[in-house]
Amino acid sequence: MNETLAESVRPAATTLSGLRFSKGHGTGNDFVLVADPEGVHSISAEQVAQLCDRHRGIGGDGLIRAVPSRLLDEGRQILSENPDAEWFMDYRNGDGSLSEMCGNGVRVFVHFLLAEGLAELPAGGSLTIGTRGGVKTIVRTGDGYAVDMGPWEFIFPEAAARAMDSLVSADGLEVPRPALSVSMGNPHTVVALAELSELRDTRLFTAPHVDPAPANGTNVEFVVPAEPLVHDGVGTVTMRVHERGVGETQSCGTGACAAAVAIRHWAGQGAPDAWQVKVPGGVVGVKFFTVAGGREHVELSGPATIVATGTLS
């Protein structure tokens, strides 16, 4: 390869030479993680995309920078009302675009803070962090972390009362399917399928078409309810997801929450508050609970793992 061509394909991330990073995942949803306690690392969207490239970079569904909240405008706004939110989860999708939140990413982020010695969290203890999707509180459990994802809401509430608000077309589905749009701080469109074979045959190499789509795009979840749906008071669904700005991922935490919201809504009165969501990368738990003032929140629980650390050359 000649020198000019070599320069053209060399990742721009080489300008971050010497930067320490970790690689982690939550049920297969994987991330490049960078600790930036002094707020000195400005990582561009292009560099994020190249670091997350699975062939020429480290590889990941996104990049998470751990930065003190006081060093970001968004973080300072959060600190004004939540002074305990010392750390901010600065998250970008794998294509470099900013994202409000990532449920699996939050768990991995906290696990990373502990591994780096930037925070302490005993079993049963809680930690408050800032995100672009608001303040999140994380509890350390026996086998992972549980995150209060905050309140959910329908993106098109009037249409949601009719049980669907959009149509979704995807490669592998013969006809467009009705869907329900749910916000978990970031946008989701949930499609129910009847059979696991339909879920298997749906091809998510390209983004599904959503009509109408939320203003800033959307993540699309395809979900098959278990038969029976509820066992011992817990509902079970199986899910695949195409994430906005990423493509199909092994798991999506906010997507699992949105899927549980939609299936619970469709199931009607008597549907459970506890759910098990099976994704290609494993299983996460979703639980609904009411906070002071009567607003309903969603808790997401599951594992988090750091698989490697290194330094960019």
Q: What mean pLDDT do residues 287-301 have?
A: 96
Is the model's pLDDT at 13 over the cut of 80?
Answer: no
pLDDT of residue 7: 37
> Which of 102, 170, 284, 286 is labelled catalytic?
102
Residue 35 near residue 4 (C-beta atoms within 8 A): no
Looking at 43, 184, 241, 252, which residue is catalytic? Answer: 252
Q: How confident is the model at residue 162 (pLDDT cuts 50, 70, 90)?
A: confident
Cβ-in-10-Å burial (0-12, 13-18, 19+) of 191 comes to buried
pLDDT of residue 161: 84
Q: What is the pLDDT of residues 175-203, one digit of tens each?
A: 999 999 999 989 999 999 999 999 999 99
Average pLDDT, the chain: 93
Percent of the chain whose predicted confidence (pLDDT) is above 70: 96
pLDDT at 284: 98
| Spatial distance between the Cα atoms of 216 and 132, rounded to a whole number of angstroms | 14
pLDDT of 95 above 50: yes
Query: Residue 3 has what pLDDT?
Result: 37
52 an active-site residue? no
Summarize pLDDT for 209-261 with one digit per residue, the tens: 999 999 989 999 999 999 999 999 999 999 999 999 899 999 999 999 999 99
Q: Can you tell me the mean pLDDT for 289-300? A: 95
Residue 128 confidence class, pLDDT cut points 50, 70, 90 = very high
On the question of pLDDT at 308 being above 50, the answer is yes
- Residue 8: the pLDDT is 35
Percent of the chain scored above 90 by pLDDT?
90
Q: What is the mean pLDDT of residues 273-287?
A: 98
pLDDT of residue 12: 43
252 flagged as catalytic: yes
